[in-house]
Structure 1
């Protein structure tokens, strides 16, 4: 273990010891009987999750699971995937080209080209989401978020090497109710949402929800007066959801839901530094390299449509045997226009335009059984995935002409899996599971170059290719209840991410699957009669054949290719601490320290000199052994303090402040300084008031109080020989009012 990493982990352990010590002391001196059913605020709430595809207390799951319920999501104003960062140790969410880039425990995908797979599996009401952009729809009617860290290959299958995120939406209520919420904020933000829910009969319930959200003033200012836009990162969204639950008998339930979301807006694209090519640099001026400012001569757009239908049927075959079927269909469209040179002049002579269309069908069956007087809990499952994605990209380069890429990919996958937890005694349980997965991908690709003189070059004629992969991903482990409130566990598991084909390429670029294997040990404890919760976990993974995205210059055109890095090693520690310090004051801490580095990977460094990776004669490979993985900070800590009080018997006032610290984040394998984010911290503040009548709730918030600018993504744009990427949102603030009836 490297000395630096030892120092980091020892420092983290010491910090955790300092944090836990007072908590444990408090636990030992807390008065008995404080936490009662009549005083629920005096104890930490239990959250029931379905992380292991069965309902159970989050504290009983032998894995690191962060669960945020509706109350926490509402108070902390979590209305996008990016807002989850800081709430979950090891979770990093970036963004580029309107795509969410999700990293868990140092495991992530590279730049998203539209046809590649994520490294963290995301589900909305049990339906797998192949397009990372689509997960924003889950923020409509959200009831709970569950984040499982580490490989989840047995229960969640392919593309869960980093973990899994489950979004659970609200269902119909048992009695008629409704609510309407209005929001205002800076940057011209305003919106309206609402829902109506209740029974149609004693066997049928319905919930109807809708939203309108508008940020009319984007937070990126365009500096040139002749631009088609004066701001970027604006958006407008309209969406709705209908869910109907039917329960004709006591043993059968059918839930059918449909969700739709349509959005219009734009996405920013920033230059971080001048081009290394003097001629391009001169042609690109003026440029700015400051956050939230840019130059552009293009009418940027980011428009999308998303639809999902899910049918979930549950049969209680016996008291100890149940069968669940989850059928989903998704349709996704996106149209994006960006200025590839971030300049008011025209080195690229036109925008980059990308159109994405996809249709996805999934089917999953789960057979759950409780056998031998509940000593054996078993699940047997089947999963089928059918995905078609059509991606076309057009861009114009000053030295070549208009470049037209087209990729059509079909992906088919099926899996069978089983997982078992057996109680040897009342306090000791053994875990064993196994999954077999078969993947097939077929691609049709083409690339045409229309030169400036009008001639057409068929650089990549219409080409077809196929690949297939098989994988076995086991899980074994144990659980021991040391006491009724303290559980220790250990697991070993494998994960598998499918191989495939890169899009936007000048030749067919296939790559192999990546695999991960390793273990996690942890302890989950509730102390001081439920007033304190301390969860600790340590993990170690061998990560092989990483799918690493890099850029190369071909025909004066920057194209992204995907290569399999040889191997890397990841290990670290995580901690979650919650404490009810007084009946009015709560503390929560989520932190991690880790090492996530390449063990062996030889590749070409585009930033070494002009054209470094442009031809066999100039290409020089370097080994980046010891460098950090992309978007894998060495530490992060989030500390939240929450105070609640009755105000003159009129209602409940809650004030929450939180601060998030992140270690250094690298956005390429070469630790290039201009696309490396140095350590940073941000602070947020939330206020909520609800009267005793519970008829309304008034909330206010400030996010990123210090207006800190940090990189969300970065890469070397080889066509322009320039470091580019995205900045974080600036300070945002606002208020919303929810009225219930």
Structure 2
């Protein structure tokens, strides 16, 4: 509990220490009355004070994100203990209250979806979520199966960027940090006419020095000689993103908003690239991956030397390269005194290449090129009551047409060549058409009590198509090159073999499934006073069935269903100087979709059932003029109740691993019973806290100080509970100074991971030289920026 104690210590010490600073600094004017400001959210598809919203919501303003140094979506977990966000292969993995999905294969969707400006992103590619020009972020906890679109079974992360306005505004930021990191950010807003305005945001990031080195072996035939000194920089990346909006209000009752965005990025960060710290890897062993022996690898295999935490040893540099764009249009139309109409149309397309070494060592053995397909179109209509209506209601319809997967995945390299194979070409794609109708109504029962009911009916049509072609060299099956197509489905859409693959020459039929589901919600809330509200809710969430796309070689998974019970209390105390919210929750999961893992490729399956339950709180207090304290915490118990027989063969199917007795440093996959095991990415305890202090010093200027700490207990990376991420405490801080004579200029200095904590942000295991692999989170980083505001 040292991390939690450190946060509490900071919060306890801050008021007295900063009060001395405030007392010593001459004040330009007498103290003003200080209170917490209202936070307006749209968690129920209408503007509403967060304290009047009968569900657990964390809302953070854009100004608070800047002050706390939150610059990307992965760092949002530092401000909400119920939220756990990882990153792997170019996409983020989102968990709320233990519910989530660590799978990053294209086509598979998250149990906690991410929205930007009310548009659902099927694949949460990290470059789209550069948090520049953000108005606010809302984290909705628990299933949102009524009002939100597809797959909101664990919760929703909604990011809202700034809308154009009639107030001219410009902000430019230029920053430099260690690891030769440069950032340029720009935001501008311009009124064009009294009914037309536009804004534009630009962000450029370049980290030119890596956190570690790519080490080469002294002797590949004798790994005991260790690594050569030096090595190329590793863990680098660069990106650029643009976003523009136009707001046209042709009449007093009509608003049309057009949005366009673009991103381009290249990054090594977040890609599994070295053995998990404390474990070992081995030189390639052909028997563990089906690839042939290569001349420069020892036989039998040898254990690889240990690496420093941020170092790797790779024959092939790994990276994720992504380029994408999207457009959306929103129409808001008032229909007299009856209702308001909303239409949201969106199209998005992203092209991504994930280039990977087949084993995370210095041996040129296998090379993977994953060409990722990611495109979607969505349309939503809403008809909702006027804001002043006594009975609030909303009716809506939603449509999604999405295509995701790999076209194609190419597996080549000397390890394939040794078997007479030029390369293997895997095609695996999933097409989704989703239709939904929904409605929700809130009816008052007297002056202080409301009852809310919601209902949604969803039809998901999921079609998978794919093939695996093995391209042999001339001379293997005759004088000409030969291609063998591995049939992956038979006419009954069943498994082709023990691992789902049958090497039989033949075409692979397309496969399709249709899933239909009712989801619903019921809530009662009661206000004891204007500042104290209690609520109780039951809701059902649903994540549609899905195909595995790497490769497409098995039946579609069954839908994941979450039934949630939640009670909460929302309060504002001491003349609105303290805001304290508490919630208790109980989630029952049926058919949770899990990553069962398989050598070299991905294997998705349904487990039997799981349960997560716990308590969370968040508190904010204004304890002096300009001084705000924050503290939040979560206790979570998340376990598989019945892992089940996931492939129906009567055996235990929770994948785990042991070191091979015949191939040192390589892994053998085994199956164990994971019933009763803790779920992945689920820390039992998490706390976050900090303070923000703003003051004016006469003759000097304005000073802004922000500190934020986040502590979490250890958690398991996978259902087998074999590899754990140890407990960690991350402390960030920043100070900004606006000189009195230059009120349009700010100098800001920041530091993240002040204690230089070593931690990992993802994990993957497979039976080969890759072994237990992972990628590190950022070490201590620090820098400064110059900010211009007009």
Alignment TM-score, normalising by the size of structure 1: 0.89
Instruction: Give matches, 1:25-424, under 5 Å.
Output: 42-133=34-125, 136-224=128-216, 230-267=232-269, 268=271, 269-272=273-276, 273-275=279-281, 279=285, 283=301, 286-346=304-364, 349-370=365-386, 374-391=389-406, 392-396=408-412, 398=415, 400=419, 401=421, 402-424=423-445
Residue 448 of structure 1 deviates from its aligned partner by 2.1
1:577 aligns with 2:619: yes
Aligned pair partner of 1:539 in 548, 565, 585: 585
**Corresponding position of 1:492:** 538
Residue 320 of structure 1 deviates from its aligned partner by 4.7
Check 1:177–1:624 CA distance in 2 against 1; reply closer, same or farther (3 A cut).
same
1:690 aligns with 2:738: yes
Contact 2:127 2:239 in 1 (8 A): no
Q: 1:302-338 CA deviation, whole Å, 9 max, x = no partner? A: 2111211110100011235101111001011111212
Contact 2:285 2:769 in 1 (8 A): no
Aligned pair partner of 1:676 in 724, 741, 745: 724
**Corresponding position of 1:663:** 713
Q: 1:566-623 CA deviation, whole Å, 9 max, x = no partner? A: 00111000000111122243210111001000001142433146599xxxxx997532
What is the rounded CA distance, in whole Å, between the counterparts of 2:261 and 2:369 in structure 1? 27
SS of equivalent to 2:250: strand
The count of corresponding residues between Structure 1 and Structure 2 is: 697
What is the rounded CA distance, in whole Å, between the counterparts of 1:49 and 1:645 in structure 2? 28
What is the rounded CA distance, in whole Å, between the counterparts of 1:279 and 1:377 in structure 2? 64
Contact 1:663 1:678 in 2 (8 A): yes
What is the rounded CA distance, in whole Å, between the counterparts of 1:608 and 1:112 in structure 2? 24
**Corresponding position of 2:494:** none
Q: 1:65-110 CA deviation, whole Å, 9 max, x = no partner? A: 1101021011112111111012012111111222211111001113
What is the rounded CA distance, in whole Å, between the counterparts of 2:53 and 2:626 in structure 1? 29
What is the rounded CA distance, in whole Å, between the counterparts of 2:764 and 2:206 in structure 1? 30
Residue 353 of structure 1 deviates from its aligned partner by 1.2
Contact 1:599 1:625 in 2 (8 A): yes
Q: 1:618-661 CA deviation, whole Å, 9 max, x = no partner? A: 99753212111111111100111222221234322121222211
What is the rounded CA distance, in whole Å, between the counterparts of 1:471 and 1:427 in structure 2? 34
What is the rounded CA distance, in whole Å, between the counterparts of 1:725 and 1:91 in structure 2? 21
Query: Would you tell me which structure has more strand in proportion to its own residues?
Result: 1
SS of equivalent to 1:559: coil
Residue 718 of structure 1 deviates from its aligned partner by 2.3
1:730 aligns with 2:788: no
Q: 1:540-568 CA deviation, whole Å, 9 max, x = no partner? A: 01111011112234xxxx23211110001
Query: Cα RMSD between the aligned structures?
Result: 2.7
What is the rounded CA distance, in whole Å, between the counterparts of 1:47 and 1:676 in structure 2? 37
Aligned pair partner of 1:522 in 568, 592, 612: 568
Residue 287 of structure 1 deviates from its aligned partner by 4.7
What is the rounded CA distance, in whole Å, between the counterparts of 1:542 and 1:114 in structure 2? 27
What is the rounded CA distance, in whole Å, between the counterparts of 1:203 and 1:250 in structure 2? 9
1:552 aligns with 2:558: no
**Corresponding position of 1:596:** 638
1:704 aligns with 2:763: no
Contact 1:610 1:721 in 2 (8 A): no
**Corresponding position of 1:624:** 674
Check 1:136–1:287 CA distance in 2 against 1; reply closer, same or farther (3 A cut).
farther
Residue 458 of structure 1 deviates from its aligned partner by 2.1
1:513 aligns with 2:559: yes
What is the rounded CA distance, in whole Å, between the counterparts of 1:68 and 1:533 in structure 2? 14
Contact 2:340 2:386 in 1 (8 A): no
Residue 492 of structure 1 deviates from its aligned partner by 0.3
Q: 1:320-376 CA deviation, whole Å, 9 max, x = no partner? A: 510111100101111121223221122xx23221111222100011111149x7321
SS of equivalent to 1:576: strand
**Corresponding position of 1:435:** 456
SS of equivalent to 2:657: coil
1:457 aligns with 2:484: yes
Range moving further from structure 2, 436-445 or 38-47: 38-47
SS of equivalent to 1:161: coil
Residue 276 of structure 1 deviates from its aligned partner by 7.0
Aligned pair partner of 1:470 in 495, 510, 516: 516
Check 1:228–1:315 CA distance in 2 against 1; reply closer, same or farther (3 A cut).
farther
Q: 1:34-77 CA deviation, whole Å, 9 max, x = no partner? A: xxxx9777211211111110001111111111101021011112
Contact 1:142 1:168 in 2 (8 A): yes
What is the rounded CA distance, in whole Å, between the counterparts of 2:31 and 2:107 in structure 1? 51
SS of equivalent to 2:597: strand
What is the rounded CA distance, in whole Å, between the counterparts of 1:330 and 1:336 in structure 2? 19
Contact 1:295 1:342 in 2 (8 A): yes
Residue 731 of structure 1 deviates from its aligned partner by 1.0
What is the rounded CA distance, in whole Å, between the counterparts of 2:230 and 2:326 in structure 1? 34
Check 1:201–1:277 CA distance in 2 against 1; reply closer, same or farther (3 A cut).
closer
Residue 712 of structure 1 deviates from its aligned partner by 1.4
Contact 1:86 1:590 in 2 (8 A): no
Range moving further from structure 2, 697-706 or 309-318: 697-706
Range moving further from structure 2, 57-66 or 129-138: 129-138
What is the rounded CA distance, in whole Å, between the counterparts of 1:390 and 1:435 in structure 2? 28
Alignment TM-score, normalising by the size of structure 2: 0.84
SS of equivalent to 1:510: coil
What is the rounded CA distance, in whole Å, between the counterparts of 2:343 and 2:520 in structure 1? 23
What is the rounded CA distance, in whole Å, between the counterparts of 1:710 and 1:344 in structure 2? 23
1:448 aligns with 2:469: yes
What is the rounded CA distance, in whole Å, between the counterparts of 2:669 and 2:315 in structure 1? 34
Runs (5+) with no aligned partner, structure 2: 16-29, 218-227, 287-296, 488-506, 645-652, 663-667
SS of equivalent to 1:462: coil
Contact 2:466 2:552 in 1 (8 A): no
**Corresponding position of 2:496:** none
SS of equivalent to 1:330: strand
Residue 679 of structure 1 deviates from its aligned partner by 1.3
What is the rounded CA distance, in whole Å, between the counterparts of 1:727 and 1:666 in structure 2? 16
**Corresponding position of 2:493:** none
Check 1:380–1:506 CA distance in 2 against 1; reply closer, same or farther (3 A cut).
closer
SS of equivalent to 1:84: helix
What is the rounded CA distance, in whole Å, between the counterparts of 1:55 and 1:567 in structure 2? 36
Q: 1:456-478 CA deviation, whole Å, 9 max, x = no partner? A: 43223433110110111100011
Select the structure of larger CA radius of gyration: 2
Check 1:227–1:177 CA distance in 2 against 1; reply closer, same or farther (3 A cut).
farther
Check 1:390–1:157 CA distance in 2 against 1; reply closer, same or farther (3 A cut).
closer
Range moving further from structure 2, 561-570 or 646-655: 646-655
